[in-house]
Amino acid sequence: MAEKPKKTSRGVRSGDFSSEKNNGNIFADLGFKPAAAAELTVKSTLIMAIGDTIKERDLTQQEAAQLCGTDQPTLSKVLRGRMESVTLDKLAAWLNALGRTVEIRVRPYDRGAETGQLVMAP
């Protein structure tokens, strides 16, 4: 007879969940098309940098919003992951306003590639 899954400290049995291998991009794993997944990945990376900078500079959201030229509710919404209302260039501008340098690099043309890619360099 098979052993019953054991309960964990949270009350969930360890045999209740299955897992699948991911491809390294949560947005692609959620079903977004490659271009949309890439854009969302870059946006989320920039948003995390904004949040880190606000913490590093010991700013309130109100102070950060004022530096960024936006209002606190909009900044708060973006920091909580609501990305649909903000563009990549707006996020880059916010980082600049907070004292960060954002580098954009275009790689040489690749004859073998069907399309280019949007990637975030470390």
Q: Is residue 61 part of a domain?
A: yes
Q: Is residue 119 part of a domain?
A: no
- The C-alpha torsion from 83 through 84 and 86 to 88, rounded to 10°, is 80
Q: Is residue 6 part of a domain?
A: no
Q: Is residue 93 part of a domain?
A: yes
What is the pTM for the complete model shown? 0.74
Domain that holds residue 36: 31-97
Q: Along the 122 residues of the chain, how does pLDDT read in single tens digits?
A: 555 555 555 555 556 656 566 667 777 667 768 778 888 889 999 999 999 999 999 999 999 999 999 999 999 999 999 988 899 999 999 999 999 999 988 889 888 888 888 887 77
Return d(Cα 58, Cα 107) in angstroms, integer.
Answer: 36
Q: Is residue 103 part of a domain?
A: no
The whole-number pLDDT of residue 116 equals 83
Instruction: Check: CB of residue 29 under 8 Å from CB of residue 23.
Output: yes
The whole-number pLDDT of residue 61 equals 97
Q: Is residue 59 part of a domain?
A: yes
The whole-number pLDDT of residue 20 equals 64
Angle between helices 61-68 and 72-79 (to 10 degrees): 100
Q: How far is CA 23 from the centre of its chain?
A: 16
CATH number at residue 80: 1.10.260.40
Phi–psi pair at 101, nearest 5 degrees: -100, 130
How many domains, the chain? 1
Q: Is residue 64 part of a domain?
A: yes
| Neighbouring residues of 110: CB distance < 8 A, sequence distance ≥ 6 | 116
| Neighbouring residues of 54: CB distance < 8 A, sequence distance ≥ 6 | 61, 64, 79, 98
Instruction: Check: CB of residue 21 under 8 Å from CB of residue 29.
Output: no
